[in-house]
């Protein structure tokens, strides 16, 4: 039986409690387990930045094993950005250290009055004073904490200034990897928890280690045979810049402009040719899609050595979204955001909004602390990034998100790219109709493209074993909604098992991995039902927090035709697709509540009593 480490920062009580095996049977681990737990402890009245919110770091049953691309962890809480489900997922190595220290998860209760950090060395757990770390960036605190000989080979996660200052879209970073979306860095900051450093030395037990490790060899070899793995290994996620620019999926000029002429200068091939030093691998991943870059001696204030480079979303955000074609400047923006602890997606979207407002004559430099927010102005961009992280001047408004900027300058919300107050990621739904469902309805709404990755499904990434076909890009049909629902269900399972969506194993192999790891029986049908149950649980969480179907609104700016773009004026019929999705998922039209029949079928009827 596994263990959850529970730490109350108000009382300074440290407790080790057993995993709830009833929750494991129903929801597995990761975000599934965390959601069921948080549902029982949080209410609509819970302040996301108050001591009653709980911050849950959770691993999965395969974390720390040789199962392909499972070196991942989730962080969950009530989101300060959306006031509903908050979930951030990242590939990392700290998840392995947590598991080797003997813990499946860590729950943070309460809030400290002064800055603290946690030291976890196997069974030794201490709450330490962090006054010397407060105000420092993520790179520096990592170096400081690992300078302790005891944690030289440990791992660190923490927050930067943005998290300390409760920026609504601040991240939790772990050695250049980011738990990036839904503002969970602010939750950590509200608890005055600066960092966690972990060193584990225990063996991770498997029910059948021989069969497990043999399957891992076969499965990893199978994944590496695929074209997708080769592309990701060579070019990382930035491989998509060129393709999406031609198709119109790459958003340009705050979603208003049809094309970006400088796309080749920021493409993945350009990044690889000019700046790539080596690949970065998450634990147990043979692909290594991470980009470690080196730009040498420079006048940008960046290290001359190697460091983590930008992913697709960051390149799109600080590239085409703001009409900047200087890749080195994008690398700098990524580096600064990582150190300050800012989500590059929301940060770049807020900055792009200012540039759009300036072009449309809504604001001038006088309105934004004297800063010229012309398109592609990277000097101004860097100033705004610092202002956001420090809540300095106009940055105090920007730190609340795009809608707050709109309220400040009397902008029609239909012209602001947010869904449930979250800036969407950068896969323009006008090119892939199914992404309207992903952004409009998935549990963390605009916050995740991988909770329902229809942008990959239309390229042929589907699951025959589950009956999931490939959808047509620009089709408005019940079939598209059905495929989106099936995909969302399955990715909900991924969030509990915690598997990378860029390394899809055969479902039968996932069942075997879980069986060999846990000793519990698994098969394809059980995985399918578990995905449905976990997605339904996340739905119930949001409804309990006060979410309503009318909140699932996509603003006009994201649904305005651009005939000259690669998507040739296509616009998804969102209301139709949403209606068909509701039918497939058996959600009531007026309330959004799953039907009683579905709740009973999934064993969730007790959770519907709120």
Each residue's pLDDT tens digit, 164-216: 999 999 999 999 899 999 999 999 999 999 999 999 999 999 999 999 999 99
Residue 345 has pLDDT above 90, yes or no: yes
DSSP letter (8 states) at residue 607? G
CATH class for the domain made up of 238-410 = mainly alpha
Q: Which whole-number Å values give the CA distances from 181 to 84, 303, 341, 345, 488, in the listed order?
A: 13, 26, 11, 8, 18
Residue 1 has pLDDT above 70, yes or no: no
Query: Contact, 450 vs 312, CB < 8 A?
Result: no
Each residue's pLDDT tens digit, 434-492: 999 999 999 988 778 999 999 999 999 999 999 999 999 999 999 999 999 999 999 99
Given this model, what pLDDT does residue 104 score? Answer: 98
Written as six digits, the tokens of 233 are 């290994």
Query: Contact, 57 vs 65, CB < 8 A?
Result: no
Give the residue from 165, 162, 179 showing the smallest Cα distance to 106.
Answer: 179
Residue 293 half-sphere exposure, CB side, CA atoms within 13 Å? 26
- Number of neighbouring beta carbons within 10 Å of residue 361: 7
- Of the pLDDT bands very low, low, confident and very high (cuts 50, 70, 90), residue 327 is very high
Each residue's pLDDT tens digit, 397-414: 999 999 999 999 999 999
Distance CA 172, CA 58 (A): 14
Q: Which residue has the tokens 């147990």?
A: 284
Predicted TM-score (pTM) of this structure:
0.97
Q: Which residue has the tokens 């076909």?
A: 469
Average of per-residue pLDDT across 216-242:
92
Query: Contact, 166 vs 187, CB < 8 A?
Result: no
Each residue's pLDDT tens digit, 253-292: 999 999 999 999 999 999 999 999 999 999 999 999 999 9
Q: Which residue has the tokens 């000259």?
A: 564
Residue 351 has pLDDT above 70, yes or no: yes
Task: State the DSSP H helix or E strand holding residue 187, giving kind and residue range, or none if neither.
Answer: helix 184-190
Do strands 105-109 and 307-308 pair parallel, antiparallel, or not at all (unpaired)? unpaired
Residue-wise burial string across 492-501, b where 16 or more C-beta atoms lie within 10 A, e elsewhere: bbbbbbbbbb
Given this model, what pLDDT does residue 255 score? Answer: 98
SS3 280: strand
Given this model, what pLDDT does residue 571 score? Answer: 98
Average pLDDT over the chain reads 97
Q: Give me the long-range contacts of 112-115 (CB less than 8 A, separation at least 24).
A: 112/9, 112/10, 112/191, 112/192, 112/193, 113/192, 114/192, 115/192, 115/194
- Of the pLDDT bands very low, low, confident and very high (cuts 50, 70, 90), residue 228 is confident
Ordered by start, the domain boundaries in the chain are: 3-199, 238-410, 434-608
Given this model, what pLDDT does residue 446 score? Answer: 76
* C-alpha dihedral, 228 to 229 to 234 to 239, nearest 10°: 40
Average of per-residue pLDDT across 526-537:
98
Distance CA 95, CA 115 (A): 23
Distance CA 537, CA 176 (A): 31
* pLDDT-above-90 percentage for the chain: 95
Residue-wise burial string across 450-471, b where 16 or more C-beta atoms lie within 10 A, e elsewhere: bbbbbbbbbeebbbeebebeeb
CATH superfamily of 3-199: Aldehyde ferredoxin oxidoreductase, N-terminal domain (3.60.9.10)
- Of the pLDDT bands very low, low, confident and very high (cuts 50, 70, 90), residue 78 is very high
CATH class for the domain made up of 434-608 = mainly alpha
Q: Is the dihedral of CA 357, 359, 360, 362 positive or negative?
A: positive
Given this model, what pLDDT does residue 445 score? Answer: 84
Q: Give me the long-range contacts of 120-127 (CB less than 8 A, separation at least 24).
A: 120/5, 120/196, 120/197, 120/198, 120/199, 120/200, 121/150, 121/151, 121/154, 121/198, 121/199, 122/199, 122/200, 122/201, 122/202, 125/5, 125/7, 125/14, 127/7, 127/9, 127/12, 127/14
- Number of neighbouring beta carbons within 10 Å of residue 402: 25
Each residue's pLDDT tens digit, 553-594: 999 999 999 999 999 999 999 999 999 999 999 999 999 999
Task: State the DSSP H helix or E strand holding residue 214, giving kind and residue range, or none if neither.
Answer: helix 209-224
């Amino acid at each position: 039986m596994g263990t959850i480490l529970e730490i109350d920062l108000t009382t300074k009580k440290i407790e080790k409690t057993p995993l709830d095996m009833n929750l494991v049977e129903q929801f597995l681990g990761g975000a599934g387990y965390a959601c069921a737990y948080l549902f029982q402890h949080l209410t609509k009245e819970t302040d996301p930045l108050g001591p009653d919110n709980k911050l849950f770091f959770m691993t999965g049953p395969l974390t720390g094993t040789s199962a392909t691309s499972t070196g991942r962890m989730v962080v969950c809480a009530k989101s300060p950005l959306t006031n509903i489900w908050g979930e951030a997922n990242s590939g990392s190595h700290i998840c392995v250290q947590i598991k080797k220290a003997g813990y499946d998860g860590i729950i943070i209760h309460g809030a400290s009055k002064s800055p603290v950090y946690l030291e976890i060395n196997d069974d030794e757990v201490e709450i330490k004073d962090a006054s010397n770390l407060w105000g420092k960036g993520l790179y520096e605190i990592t170096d400081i904490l690992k300078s302790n000989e005891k944690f030289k080979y440990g791992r660190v996660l923490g927050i930067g200034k943005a998290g300390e200052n409760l920026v609504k879209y601040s991240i939790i970073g772990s050695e250049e990897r980011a738990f990036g979306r839904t503002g969970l860095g602010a939750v950590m900051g509200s608890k005055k928890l600066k960092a966690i450093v972990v060193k584990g030395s225990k063996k991770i037990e498997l029910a059948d280690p021989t069969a497990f490790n043999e399957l891992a060899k076969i499965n990893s070899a199978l994944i590496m045979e695929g074209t997708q793995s080769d592309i990701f290994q060579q070019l990382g996620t930035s491989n998509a810049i060129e393709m999406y620019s031609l198709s119109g999926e790459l958003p340009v000029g705050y979603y208003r402009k049809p094309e970006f002429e400088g796309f080749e200068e920021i493409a993945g091939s350009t990044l690889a040719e000019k700046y790539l030093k080596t690949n970065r691998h998450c634990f147990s991943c043979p692909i290594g899609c991470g980009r470690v870059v080196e730009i040498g001696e420079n006048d940008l204030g960046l290290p001359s050595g190697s460091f983590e480079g930008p992913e697709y979303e960051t390149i799109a955000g600080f590239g085409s979204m703001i009409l900047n074609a200087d890749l080195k400047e994008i690398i700098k923006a990524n580096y600064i955001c990582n150190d300050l602890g800012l989500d590059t997606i929301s940060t770049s979207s807020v900055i792009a909004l200012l540039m759009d407002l300036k072009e449309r004559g809504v604001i001038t430099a006088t309105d934004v602390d004297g800063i010229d927010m012309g398109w592609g102005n990277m000097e101004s961009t860097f100033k705004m990034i610092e202002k956001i992280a420090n809540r300095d001047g106009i940055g105090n408004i920007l730190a609340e998100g795009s809608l707050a900027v709109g309220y400040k300058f009397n902008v029609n919300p239909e012209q602001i790219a947010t869904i449930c107050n979250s800036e969407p990621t950068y896969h323009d739904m006008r090119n892939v109709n199914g992404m309207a469902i992903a952004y409009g309805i998935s549990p963390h709404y605009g916050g995740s493209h991988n909770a329902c990755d229809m942008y990959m499904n239309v390229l042929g990434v589907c699951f025959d074993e589950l009956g999931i076909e490939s959808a047509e890009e620009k089709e408005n049909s019940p079939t598209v909604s059905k495929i989106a629902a099936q995909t969302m269900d399955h990715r909900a399972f991924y969030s509990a098992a915690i598997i990378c969506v860029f390394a899809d194993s055969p479902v039968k192999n996932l069942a075997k991995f879980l069986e060999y790891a846990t000793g519990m029986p698994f098969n394809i049908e059980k995985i399918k039902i578990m995905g449905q149950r976990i997605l339904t649980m996340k739905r119930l969480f949001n409804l309990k927090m006060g979410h309503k179907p009318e909140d699932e609104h996509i603003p006009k700016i994201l649904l305005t035709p651009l005939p000259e773009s690669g998507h040739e004026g296509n616009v998804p019929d969102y209301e139709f697709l949403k209606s068909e999705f509701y039918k497939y998922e058996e959600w009531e039209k007026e309330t959004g509540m799953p039907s009683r029949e579905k709740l009973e079928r999934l064993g969730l009827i007790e959770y519907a009593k709120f």
